Amino acid sequence: MPFFRRLSPRRLMIFGSAFVLFGFFAFSLAPITSPLPRYTGPHEVGVLDVEVEVEPRLVNGNEAVLKETGERAFELSTLAVTLYYPSTIPPPAPGQPQPYARPWLPQPISLIGTGYARLARVYFPPLQALFTFTMWALGSSTVIPGIVDAPLLSQSQKTLLDESGGISGLGRVTEAEESDGRMELRGTKGDKTVDVNVQGIDNLLKEKFPCVVFTHGMAGMSQSYSHYLGSIASHGYVVAAIEHRDGSGPGTIVHHPNGTERRVWHLQLADLSASPAMTAADLKVAQLAFREAEIHETVQLFQNLTAGHGATLTNLKPDSPSSSLAGFKDRLDMDAITVAGHSYGATGALQALKCAPSADVPFNGGIALDPGKGSGPLNHAIEVPTLVLQSGEWTDKQTQFYDQGWHFAVVRDLVAATRKGWFLTLRGTAHPSVTDAPLIVPWIMRLVTGTTLNAEVALREYIDVSVDFLQVLQRVRNAGPLTRPVSSPEGPLGEVQDRGTVEGSSGGEWEVHVVSEV
C-alpha cells in the first residue's frame, strides 16, 4: 500500500483543502438547484393556501384505524387546497413591505423530510433528520412565483384570445359588438387602437373564470406541480390543487377548528388495523374514494366562494391570510369546472368523471397525465371530453394492466370510446416531467430519469396542450397538436416506422394516438 504510506497528515490536509475548494467552485459554477421560471401566460398569479372545515365523516364508512395512534384512517374533517389564480399584483403602499411569494416546501420542512423517511420505512430519528436536511438543501430557497393573497384579476384587465387561440395582444377592451356569431372587439395597446374578430367565445367578456380541480400523484404534494398549475392560472383559470389526506403523500397536518392538529403520514397496509384485514386492492379503493370526496368538497369550496362566502370563511391553515377570497364573489364559472390529475391523481380524476356532467358531478371535462399503472382499474364510464397526456417513458415501458391488456391499449381504447377525447405522448420525457422537480434540480433529474427533452420545453408543451384543451371546452379554436390527425395509432405496440410525430408549440415532438371525433 505505498500510496497510503505517502499520505502524511500534511498531504491529507492539502488534498482535503483542494477537495473542499473544488466542491465550492463546482457548486458555484453549476448550482445544484435552479429557481422556478415565470409562468407562461399573460397574467400575474396569486397563490393562497386554504384549509376549511367540512362535514366530518368516515368516507364510505371505512372504519380502519392507524395502529400507531388508534385514529380513524379515512375520516374527512377538513379540506386543504392551494389556489392558483390570475391576478393583478398591486404595488406596495408607501412604507409597506414588498409582496411575498409562497415557499415551495410546506412548513415545517421537518414534516416533509420525516414523511419521505417514513415512506422509505426509515424510523431512526437521526436518519430522518438526514432526509429533512436533504429536503432543506434542495428546496428551502425555492419559492413559488406569485403573490400570496393577491386580488383576483378584474374583468377590465382580462387579456383577450384571438380566433386561433393565441394571445391577441389586444390589451384592454374598450368596445364590443356581437354580429352573426362573431364578436367585434376594439381595444388599446399602448397608444394604438387595435381591432380583432373573435368567434365562438361566449365567456370572453364575462367576469367569471373557468375552474380546474387538480389531484396530485402518489408521494406528491399540492405544490409539486406549481409551474404547470400556476401557468394554467396565468392563462385565465382558477386552479385548486388538493393537499390529499388519504395517506398517499409524504405528510400533512389536519388543523381542526378547536386548535388541535392531526398528522397524516404516508399509509401502507402494515400501518392499518381493520376487520376484515384490508388488502392492497382495498387500500387503493379506500384512498381513491377519499380523494373523490375531497374533489367534491373542492367543488363545494368553489361554490361557496362564488356565492360570496369567502368574506366569512375561516382559513384554518396557519399563517395563511384570506382577504382575497371576498373578491371571488360571482367570479367563478360553475358550469366550467375541469378535473385533472397526475399518476394516482389521473386515475382519481378519471374516476371522478363517472356520471359527469350532472348536478352532483359538474365537470365539463378531464385531464389525465400519465394515468397510474398500479393505482387500480380505470373508469371507462366517461361522457365528457377527456385529454390524456403521457410521458415518453410511461408510453414506452409497457406493463400488463389488471388482466385487461397492455396499459397503452387500455388507455387508448378508453379515450377512443368517449369519441370526444385526445390521447398524446410527449417524446423525450419521463413520469416526473410534469412536476417541478426537473426545473428545480435539472441535472439530477436528467441523470435519474434519462430524459432527452429540456425540462422547461417539456413543461411548456404540457401547459400549452392542456390550455388548448381547456379552451376547446370553452369553444375556442386553436392551432396546436389537438388539431392534428392521428400520427401513431399503435404507439409502442406497433412498428417503429409507424410512430409518426407532430411538432408542439415549443419544438417538442408529440405522438398523436387518438383524436376527438366531434
What is 36-60 written as a DSSP string?
PPPPSSSSEEEEEEEEEEEEEEEGG
Q: What number is the average pLDDT over the span 148-173?
A: 56
- Would you state the pLDDT for residue 159? 47
Q: What number is the average pLDDT over the span 68-82?
A: 97
User: Catalytic: 342?
Assistant: no
- Distance, in Å, from the CA atom of 175 to the CA atom of 168, rounded to the nearest integer, reads 15
Domain-located, residue 505:
yes
- Answer yes or no: is pLDDT of 485 > 60: yes
pTM, full prediction: 0.86
Domain-located, residue 248:
no
Q: What's the pLDDT tens digit per position in 94-129?
A: 666 656 678 998 888 999 999 999 888 898 999 999
- Answer yes or no: is pLDDT of 207 > 80: no
Domain-located, residue 24:
no
Angle between helices 109-119 and 125-139 (to 10 degrees): 120
- Look at residues 145, 171, 199 and tell me which one is the last residue of a structural domain: 199
User: Annotated catalytic residue: which of 324, 343, 433, 487?
Assistant: 343
* Strand pairing category for 272-273 and 332-342: unpaired
Domain-located, residue 482:
yes
Domain-located, residue 398:
yes
pLDDT more than 90, % of the chain: 73
- Look at residues 148, 179, 199 and tell me which one is the last residue of a structural domain: 199
Query: Which region holds residue 403: left if phi is over 0, alpha if psi is between -120 and 50, else beta?
Result: left
- Answer yes or no: is pLDDT of 269 > 50: yes
- Distance, in Å, from the CA atom of 18 to the CA atom of 372, rounded to the nearest integer, reads 47
- Would you state the pLDDT for residue 102? 86
Domain-located, residue 181:
yes
* Strand pairing category for 65-66 and 272-273: antiparallel
- Would you state the pLDDT for residue 5? 45
- Would you state the pLDDT for residue 93? 64
- Answer yes or no: is pLDDT of 446 > 60: yes
Q: Are 142 and 35 in contact (CB under 8 A)?
A: yes
Q: What's the pLDDT tens digit per position in 26-39?
A: 333 345 678 899 99
- Would you state the pLDDT for residue 160? 45
- Distance, in Å, from the CA atom of 273 to the CA atom of 279, rounded to the nearest integer, reads 11
- Look at residues 199, 229, 257 and tell me which one is the last residue of a structural domain: 199
Domain-located, residue 168:
yes
- Would you state the pLDDT for residue 16? 46
Helices (H), 344-453: 344-352, 392-396, 407-418, 437-440, 442-449
Q: How confident is the model at residue 134 (pLDDT cuts 50, 70, 90)?
A: confident
Q: Are 235 and 41 in contact (CB under 8 A)?
A: yes
Q: Are 504 and 417 in contact (CB under 8 A)?
A: no
User: Catalytic: 431?
Assistant: yes
At residue 346, φ and ψ (nearest 5 deg) are: -65, -40
- Answer yes or no: is pLDDT of 84 > 80: yes
What's the structural domain count of the chain?
Answer: 2
* Strand pairing category for 102-103 and 143-144: antiparallel
Q: Which of 154-168, 239-253, 313-327 has the lowest mean pLDDT?
A: 154-168
Q: Are 136 and 109 in contact (CB under 8 A)?
A: yes
Query: Which region holds residue 95: left if phi is over 0, alpha if psi is between -120 and 50, else beta?
Result: left
Q: What number is the average pLDDT over the span 271-299?
A: 96
- Would you state the pLDDT for residue 359? 87
User: Annotated catalytic residue: which of 43, 227, 244, 431?
Assistant: 431
Name the residue range of residue 185's domain: 159-199
**Average confidence score pLDDT of the chain:** 86
- Would you state the pLDDT for residue 31? 54
- Answer yes or no: is pLDDT of 363 > 50: yes
- Would you state the pLDDT for residue 96? 63
User: Annotated catalytic residue: which of 333, 370, 464, 468?
Assistant: 370
CA end-to-end span of the chain: 76
- Would you state the pLDDT for residue 216? 97
Q: What number is the average pLDDT over the span 146-172?
A: 59
Q: 44: which strand partners? A: 87
pLDDT more than 70, % of the chain: 82
**Grid cell at residue 357:** 356532467
Domain-located, residue 376:
yes
- Distance, in Å, from the CA atom of 266 to the CA atom of 251, rounded to the nearest integer, reads 6
User: Catalytic: 370?
Assistant: yes
